[in-house]
């Protein structure tokens, strides 16, 4: 329940910020073009707060925080007094209307640059993309990538950390070949690896892009010793103690390897098991019933404990931060990279290289907001920037009812010299509404199926 409240609160805060930014873009440019704005609303439905300024604009915060709008004076929908006719949206030139409509998505892109700028100024703790293990017979193994090597470039894109690696891999889904450059600590020169990705199978709901090509990030050595036991967990109820060293599960030896012990526990959700441990030089047998949790559409056993592990090597850690000047170019580059990636993914959805099962809706976004907010401010800023970019791009799609659909109509008007007939616009808006509801339904279905 606490997680739900935290995720929901983080989601509302994130969405409120991004919607305000988007609508303020429309509002600011409309005001600069002398269009009368009647209402600036964050959310839909019943108003829970409202205020009117000297220019007659009503500012509203509404009950349902899933959108917002800027209502401008328009003769096509309102009775307009003669003295206000020059303040209507429809009376402005096509260039002015294009500027007003495009300002919302552009404001989201500007906000992303700002959020990344703050993130780079504050600094984000990161780790170098050092390969831990390479899955035998995988795409990476066939490309001769080796463990302990550092990934420095993918398809011409520099990779500073594992997030860069993941984004670069996702951007190249559907490509028949992929070039990855690595550096070994014994050599300063980069080695190019040609990967055959024609049979690359990537399912985001099951695994990451990194693991799907056969790479496992480096992780410090894990020792076969319990160091954390969660309160009121199955482990605590079974009588396990800190310092215990697992020996076997239901008679199957773990060979002093925590990974084997963990995998054995996962096999027995909600089932009674016998765990043999070494405790202070003697052997103890304990009975436990692991709880069940869902992961990758399967129920797995969970005891609620953690093992001892070595500290992460300092030479693999760094802080991703820049000075006030360098942070500008880095934030611009990061924003552009994600804009290009987002458009690529839309193209891959259309061509079928990426399944519609990968679409995420409000539930996934809420979970992401809660997770990133819990990690700290810099992570939440990065999350806001990413969602802001996605919001801007979605609104630019040439779908009637979205900003992009309006822009298509205005571009047609620009070339033909006359507005698109209102009847055609109405048909387009109905089609756009159905298409948008369809996409939202798919995304929501995907969210629910992942719960």
Whole-angstrom distance, CA of residue 54 vs CA of residue 33: 18
Is the separation of the CB atoms in 209 and 170 below 8 Å?
yes
One-character DSSP codes across 130-162: BEEEE-TTSHHHHTT--TT-EEEEETTEE-SSH
Q: Look at residues 419, 443, 450, 437 and name the one whose alpha carbon lies nearest to residue 76.
A: 419
Take residue 208 and report the two structure tokens written for it. 């990451």
Start-to-end C-alpha separation, the chain:
15
**φ and ψ at residue 202, rounded to 5 degrees:** -130, 120
Which residues, 6+ apart, have CB-to-CB distance to 322 below 8 Å? Answer: 120, 121, 330
Whole-angstrom distance, CA of residue 409 vs CA of residue 427: 13
Is the separation of the CB atoms in 371 and 365 below 8 Å?
no
Whole-angstrom distance, CA of residue 159 vs CA of residue 19: 31
The verdict on whether 23 is a catalytic residue reads yes
Is the separation of the CB atoms in 10 and 384 below 8 Å?
no
Is the separation of the CB atoms in 357 and 444 below 8 Å?
no
How many residues are listed for the chain in this entry? Answer: 451
Take residue 88 and report the two structure tokens written for it. 């209507």
CA dihedral for 210, 211, 212, 213, sign (positive or negative): positive
Q: How buried is 110 (Cβ within 10 angstroms: 0-12 exposed, 13-18 middle, 19+ buried)? A: middle
Just list the catalytic residues: 23
């Amino acid at each position: 329940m606490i997680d739900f409240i935290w995720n929901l609160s983080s989601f509302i805060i994130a969405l409120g910020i991004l919607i305000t930014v988007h609508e303020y873009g429309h509002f600011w440019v409309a005001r600069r073009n002398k269009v009368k704005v009647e209402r600036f609303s964050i959310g839909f439905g019943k108003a829970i707060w409202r205020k009117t300024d000297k220019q007659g604009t009503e500012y509203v915060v509404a009950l349902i925080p899933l959108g917002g709008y800027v209502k401008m004076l328009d003769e096509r929908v309102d009775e307009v007094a003669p003295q206000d006719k020059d303040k209507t949206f429809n009376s402005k030139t096509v260039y002015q209307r294009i500027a007003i409509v495009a300002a919302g998505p552009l404001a989201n892109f500007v906000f992303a640059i700002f959020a990344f700028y703050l993130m780079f100024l504050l600094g984000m703790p990161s780790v170098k993309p050092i390969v831990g293990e390479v899955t035998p017979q995988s795409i990476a193994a066939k490309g001769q990538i080796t463990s302990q090597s550092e990934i420095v470039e993918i398809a011409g894109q520099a990779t500073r950390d594992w997030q860069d690696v993941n984004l670069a891999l996702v951007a190249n889904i559907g490509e028949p070949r992929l070039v990855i450059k690595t550096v070994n600590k014994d050599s300063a020169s980069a080695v190019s690896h040609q990967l055959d990705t024609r049979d690359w199978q990537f399912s985001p709901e099951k695994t990451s892009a990194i693991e799907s090509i056969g790479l496992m990030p480096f992780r410090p050595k894990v020792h076969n010793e319990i160091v954390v036991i969660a309160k009121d967990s199955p482990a605590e109820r079974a009588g396990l103690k800190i310092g215990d060293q697992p020996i076997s599960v239901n008679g199957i030896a773990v060979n002093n390897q925590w990974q084997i012990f963990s995998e054995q526990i996962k096999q027995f959700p909600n089932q009674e098991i016998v765990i043999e441990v070494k405790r202070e030089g003697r052997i103890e047998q304990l009975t436990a019933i692991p709880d069940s949790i869902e992961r990758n559409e399967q129920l797995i056993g969970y005891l609620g404990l953690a093992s001892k592990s070595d500290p992460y090597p300092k030479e693999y850690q760094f802080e991703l931060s820049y000075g006030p000047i360098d942070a500008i170019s880095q934030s611009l580059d990061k924003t552009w990279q994600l804009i290009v990636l987002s458009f690529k993914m839309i193209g891959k959805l259309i061509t079928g290289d990426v399944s519609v099962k990968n679409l995420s809706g409000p539930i996934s976004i809420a979970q992401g907001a809660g997770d990133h907010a819990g990690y700290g401010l810099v992570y939440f800023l990065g999350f806001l920037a990413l969602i802001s970019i996605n919001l801007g791009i979605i609104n630019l799609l040439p779908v009637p009812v979205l900003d992009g659909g309006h822009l298509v109509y205005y571009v047609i008007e620009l070339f033909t010299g006359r507005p698109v007939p209102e009847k055609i616009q109405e048909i387009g808006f109905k089609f756009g509404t159905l298409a948008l509801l369809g996409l939202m339904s798919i995304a929501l279905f995907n969210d629910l199926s992942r719960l």
